[in-house]
């Protein structure tokens, strides 16, 4: 390996094998209770919880460790209202034709439509941006690598962290999403990647049957 500055791996924890087995099972039991919901309570969620989950997301591996992401956590009613208005405007165009027949057919069993009341009801919206240029510090303007992969992994950790904290989420990708740059005051170097809705589920929250069909292990993996 090339000469480079480094320190010993000191915080790795090795578990006894039986504990490893139970931990892996417990984690599966935890994450299989994560469901995307579309009906949120307006009950407030402490900002510190969101901060901790964002810190967890920020530990994600990334190309050359450039951490090519930015999260805008929104609790302001005014900004949520603007996002709802613009998302619904674009979604109406999507559902009224832009999506095309095949895409609309794929969404039928989820029951989604252009109405996005949760964008105002939920206590937190987290707009996730990817950065084309960057580096190990915020001031850098170097090329970023594997941006989609990196931001995808960070988003996955964020969703899991929020679920682990006891919150429900919804991944939302209004199409197009570029209005988020303006509303969130993010520059040209950033591209809106996803909008995450986070909060407590409303009492009437449901899970579409379609979303509960998960492929078997044998269908998603094989061992060589």
Q: Give the residues lining the site for ligand IYR (CB under 6 A).
A: 91, 107, 110, 112, 172-175
Is 17 exposed, middle or buried (CB count within 10 Å of its CB: 0-12, 13-18, 19+)? exposed
Q: To the nearest whole angstrom, how small is the minimum distance from the Cβ of residue 71 to ligand IYR? A: 19
Q: To the nearest whole angstrom, how small is the minimum distance from the Cβ of residue 222 to ligand IYR? A: 26
Q: To the nearest whole angstrom, how small is the minimum distance from the Cβ of residue 143 to ligand IYR? A: 30
Which of 171, 158, 174 has the alpha carbon at shortest distance from 59? 158
68 vs 174 by CB, closer to ligand IYR: 174
Q: To the nearest whole angstrom, how small is the minimum distance from the Cβ of residue 45 to ligand IYR? A: 22
Distance from the Cα of residue 150 to its chain's centroid: 12
Give the whole-angstrom CA distance, residue 91 versus residue 152. Answer: 23
Q: How many CA atoms lie within 13 A of 99 on its CB side?
A: 21
79 vs 107 by CB, closer to ligand IYR: 107
134 vs 197 by CB, closer to ligand IYR: 197
Q: To the nearest whole angstrom, how small is the minimum distance from the Cβ of residue 120 to ligand IYR? A: 15
Collapsed DSSP state (helix, strand, coil) of residue 162: helix
List, in sequence order, every residue forming a beta bridge with 40; answer none if it has no partner: 201
Is 190 exposed, middle or buried (CB count within 10 Å of its CB: 0-12, 13-18, 19+)? buried
32 vs 108 by CB, closer to ligand IYR: 108
Count of Cβ atoms closer than 10 Å to residue 122 Cβ: 30
Max Cα separation, the chain?
58
Q: At what angle do helices 47-57 and 147-165 cross, to 10 degrees?
A: 140
Q: To the nearest whole angstrom, how small is the minimum distance from the Cβ of residue 79 to ligand IYR? A: 19
95 vs 146 by CB, closer to ligand IYR: 95
64 vs 107 by CB, closer to ligand IYR: 107
């Amino acid at each position: 390996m090339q000469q480079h500055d480094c320190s010993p791996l000191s915080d790795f924890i090795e578990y006894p094998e039986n504990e490893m087995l139970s931990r892996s099972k417990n984690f599966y039991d935890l994450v299989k209770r994560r469901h995307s919901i579309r009906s949120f309570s307006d009950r407030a969620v402490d900002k510190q919880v969101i901060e901790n989950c964002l810190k967890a997301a920020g530990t994600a591996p990334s190309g050359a460790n450039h951490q090519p992401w930015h999260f805008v956590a929104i609790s302001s009613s005014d900004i949520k209202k603007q996002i709802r208005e613009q998302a619904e405007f674009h979604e109406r165009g999507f559902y009224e034709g832009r999506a095309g027949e095949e895409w609309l057919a794929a969404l039928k069993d989820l029951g989604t439509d252009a109405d996005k009341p949760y964008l105002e009801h939920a206590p937190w919206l987290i707009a996730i941006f990817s950065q084309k240029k960057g580096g190990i510090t915020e001031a850098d303007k170097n090329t970023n690598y594997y941006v989609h992969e990196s931001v995808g992994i960070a988003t996955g950790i964020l969703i899991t962290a929020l679920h682990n904290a006891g919150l429900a989420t919804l991944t939302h990708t209004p199409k197009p999403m570029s209005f988020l740059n303006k509303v969130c005051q993010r520059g040209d170097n950033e591209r809106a990647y996803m909008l995450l809705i986070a909060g407590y589920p409303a009492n009437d929250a449901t899970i579409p049957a379609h979303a509960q069909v998960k492929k078997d292990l044998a269908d998603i993996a094989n061992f060589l």
